Amino acid sequence: MDGSIPFWMYIIGFPLLLGPLVTLHELGHYLVGRWFGVHAEAFAVGFGKEIAGFTDKRGTRWKLCALPLGGYVQFKGDMNPASVPDKEAIANASAEEREGSFHHASLWKRSLIVFAGPAMNIIVTLAIFTSFFMIFGKPVSPDPAMETTITAFAEDSAAEEAGLEIGDRIVRVDGKEVASFFDLREAIIMYPGRTLDIEVIRDGDVRNFDVVPRTIKAEDRFGNVSTIGQIGIPPAVTERQFEGVGPGEAVNLSFVQTGKLVDMMVTGIKQIVVGERSVKELGGPVTIGKFAGEQLSLGALAFFNLAALISLNLAFINLLPIPALDGGHLAFYAAEAIRRKPLGPRSTEVAYRAGVALVLALMIFVTFIDIAKLPFFGN
């Protein structure tokens, strides 16, 4: 950890980041459930032993738990906080027990209640980006074409080696149009070592070149190292300005920005799965806490930007079709809709047990990676 950052920022950064995001996620489940008349027996921030709490007039226990690594809403009829259904109890429930029970709600209501958690995290991301665009506007260049025109090459440039020349204007990378240097950077940074088809305009003619970005280990001011791709083209010197936007355009830009982040996340996971990236690039609670402290030290804007990214990650992870996660529940509901009846109790139990085991294994794995990254373990 960077010695120039007060240690207390690491201590408060983690709960200050994850606490509100997890609470809002669970609040999404709770509010939609309440809207549909489903009773929430418990609303917890964290897991494990309760350290503080109260029971409201509706009978919901609101509590803060000892292990601040998540949270849950336990609805009436749930066997446990993972919302695992008790098939026998559901089938034998009395009319009174069915009233306000999550598992006796209609299929579409259960689906919306489950989806509401990730949806809330997506809304948080969109709200943060919309606020940024409303406050600062959007970056514009007086001459966008100049931004993607090659004016120089860096030393050992992959682009120059592939045959690109000064004056070429890059218009597409692997079929994706690039309208600014930021677009060009985003089209290349995630693909170190992969052959990219770069289309340029030279003397009015369209030409295509196969370029293999160099694999670069980029290090930020805090010593965090990331693997990125570069083709050795420095940005042209243009004076970028920020142009004010209205609410409608700000919302639209926030969707565009969020879409780009989702694309990068999916690409990164694919590359780890196929071996193009190291699993060491994964991060767990320790990494999140470290980043939270670092970004907090840079100010509110950097911290909220990280919050938008983590909130989107929470939505993405929770929507994976793994039993015990929201996406797993939605997968079961999709199967129920197709079959016109729920899956059998045995298959449901086996799937949930496997899902919980997988989630726990992944948590242990990323935590192990986190610990191995700590300075006193070396590299």
For residue 226, give every residue at least 6 positions away whose Cβ sits within 8 Å of its Cβ, in sequence order, or none: 217, 218, 220, 281
| Residues 16 and 132 both lie in one domain | yes
The label of the residue with tokens 């066997």 reads: 79
Q: What is the pLDDT of residue 282?
A: 76
| Residues 324 and 355 both lie in one domain | yes
| Residues 47 and 122 both lie in one domain | yes
Q: Is residue 286 part of a domain?
A: no
| Residues 20 and 74 both lie in one domain | yes
The domain tally of the chain equals 2
| Residues 229 and 320 both lie in one domain | no
List C-alpha distances in Å: 360 to 221, 324, 355, 356, 367.
33, 11, 9, 6, 10
| Residues 89 and 38 both lie in one domain | yes
Over residues 325-367, the pLDDT tens digits come to 889 889 888 988 888 887 777 777 777 778 778 877 877 877 7
CATH number of the domain that residue 222 is part of: 2.30.42.10
| Residues 76 and 156 both lie in one domain | no
| Residues 151 and 123 both lie in one domain | no
232 lies in which domain range?
139-243
Q: What is the pLDDT of residue 332?
A: 87
How far is Cα 344 from Cα 220, in angstroms, rounded to an integer? 52
26 noted as active-site residue: yes
Q: Is residue 115 part of a domain?
A: yes
Q: What is the pLDDT of residue 145?
A: 75
Over residues 298-332, the pLDDT tens digits come to 888 999 999 999 999 999 989 988 887 889 889 88
| Residues 152 and 232 both lie in one domain | yes
| Residues 13 and 131 both lie in one domain | yes
pTM, two decimal places? 0.84
Q: Is residue 318 part of a domain?
A: yes
Q: What is the pLDDT of residue 200?
A: 93
| Residues 167 and 132 both lie in one domain | no
Q: What is the pLDDT of residue 85?
A: 60
What stretches in the chain show pLDDT beneath 70? 1-3, 78-93, 97, 237-238, 370, 372-379
The first and second tokens of residue 297, run together, are 């030290």
Q: Strand, coil or helix: what is 154?
A: coil
| Residues 131 and 30 both lie in one domain | yes
Q: Is residue 254 part of a domain?
A: no
Q: Is the dihedral of CA 224, 229, 232, 235 positive or negative?
A: negative
Q: Strand, coil or helix: what is 209?
A: strand
E-state strands within the chain:
40-55, 61-75, 138-140, 169-173, 176-177, 196-202, 205-211, 214-219, 225-230, 241-243
Q: Is residue 156 part of a domain?
A: yes
How far is Cα 92 from Cα 198, in angstroms, rounded to an integer? 64
Q: Is residue 263 part of a domain?
A: no
